[in-house]
Amino acid sequence: MIDYLRPNMSEDLKSMSVLGLAHIGDAVFELMVRTWLCMRGVSTSKRLHNETVSFVSARSQAEAAARILPELNEEELAVFKRGRNAHVNAVPQSSSYEEYHTATGIEALFGYLYLSGETARAGELFEIVVSKSVLQERGR
């Protein structure tokens, strides 16, 4: 049986599209945000939803990239850059072109780490993101 919650696709990742990595990474990052919020005591569905949405926006993910880029190794930086440089068909009006592409890079990186079984590393990077987040600064 395949364990879809703990994949280890290190070899298969070379053939996966960067947008495939970003697709998975979007869900991984959002799940980490949701888990973090619940662990911090956010309990109403409205607040959970609103704070999750604000945290996973392209603008917030671009801010997260600025925090973690200095911490990335060569391989992680290469994945991030592949994601950031990926051709996307549309950019939402709520974000700039640069923010959206940077967010795609972050999502590709988190997708890559998850699919390669490097969840501890994804957790380390996520801790950097939330340690300086707006939510953390508000004492939540």
Residue 139: per-residue pLDDT: 47
Domain boundaries, the chain: 15-137
Listed in sequence order, the DSSP H helices in the chain are: 18-39, 45-55, 58-68, 74-84, 97-115, 119-131, 134-137
Percent pLDDT > 90 in the chain is 59
Supply the pLDDT for residue 88: 79
pLDDT, residue 35, reads 94
What pLDDT score was predicted for residue 133?
59
- Yes or no: say if 83 and 108 are a contact pair by the CB < 8 Å rule: yes
CA atoms within 13 A on the CB side of 66: 9
Contact 82, 100 (CB under 8 A): no
Model pTM score: 0.89
The token pair at 136 is: 């953390």
Percent over 70 (pLDDT), the chain: 94
Residue 11: is its pLDDT beyond 80?
no
Q: Does the domain made of 15-137 have the CATH classification 1.10.1520.10?
A: yes
CA distances from 41 to 29, 38, 134 (A): 19, 5, 16
What amino acid positions are annotated as catalytic residues?
26
pLDDT of the residue at 76: 96
Confidence category of residue 135, pLDDT binned at 50, 70, 90 = very low
